[in-house]
Amino acid sequence: MIKKIKELFMPVLIAGVFIGGLVLMFTGNNGSGGGNTIQVIVPELTALGEEGKVLFDASCASCHGDNAAGSDRAPPLVHDIYNPGHHGDEAFVRAAMNGVRAHHWAFGNMPAITNVTEDDVLKIIRYVRELQVANGIATVEHIM
Ligand code: HEC
């Protein structure tokens, strides 16, 4: 009887360990997160947003992460401080064209991104704004 139970449960146990390992692989700290990645809800993108995503993935995601969720190299852009009231579209263009001096975070400076045009950045902004809206980031006017 006991042997029978073991025979029955062994495959379940092995499957459990295997699945557990997979879950750890995908959710655990695998080095790319660096503790700064956030959960981003990805909405259905508009055509322009989709174009922006392709450009973002090519030029920005290496630092700002997939879906602009951040990485150990740069902050998430799907973040309250990058709401359109605090970091308007021109802040994005400026960032890409001139680079950014580290001021909000401790990742270091952002270099100028030389392989994107201003037009590309406008599409990237559209993509990031669509992600922001889907993740509840609302425009808060910046008062200084
Ligand atoms: C080499 C890494 C790197 C790449 C590539 C990169 N960024 Fe950044 N970016 C950073 C870091 C680091 C910061 C945070 C600076 C700080 O401390 O405020 C930043 C900040 C920003 C900001 C905030 C600017 C501000 O005024 O505070 C915007 C917007 C931005 N990045 C957009 C982009 C876009 C768009 C791209 C792609 C075209 C891109 N970044 C590619 C590293 C990068």
And the tokens for 74? 């740069």
| Tokens coding 93 | 């263009």
The CATH topology of domain 47-134 is Cytochrome Bc1 Complex; Chain D, domain 2 (1.10.760)
**Domains of the chain by residue range:** 1-30, 47-134
Q: In angstroms, rounded to a whole number, what is the distance separating the alpha carbons of residues 77 and 66?
A: 11
Global confidence as pTM = 0.80
pLDDT score at 48 = 98
42/24 Cα distance (integer angstroms): 22
Protein residues whose CB sits closer than 6 Å to any atom of ligand 1: 59-60, 62-64, 73-75, 87, 91-92, 95-96, 100, 102-105, 107-108, 110-111, 113, 116, 121, 124
**Tens digits of per-residue pLDDT, 74-112?**
999 999 999 999 999 999 999 999 999 999 999 999 999
**What are the Cα distances from residue 116, in Å, to 43, 57, 88?**
24, 12, 18
- Tens digits of per-residue pLDDT, 40-86? 999 999 999 999 999 999 999 999 999 999 999 999 999 999 999 99
Question: Cα separation of 141 and 66, whole Å?
Answer: 27
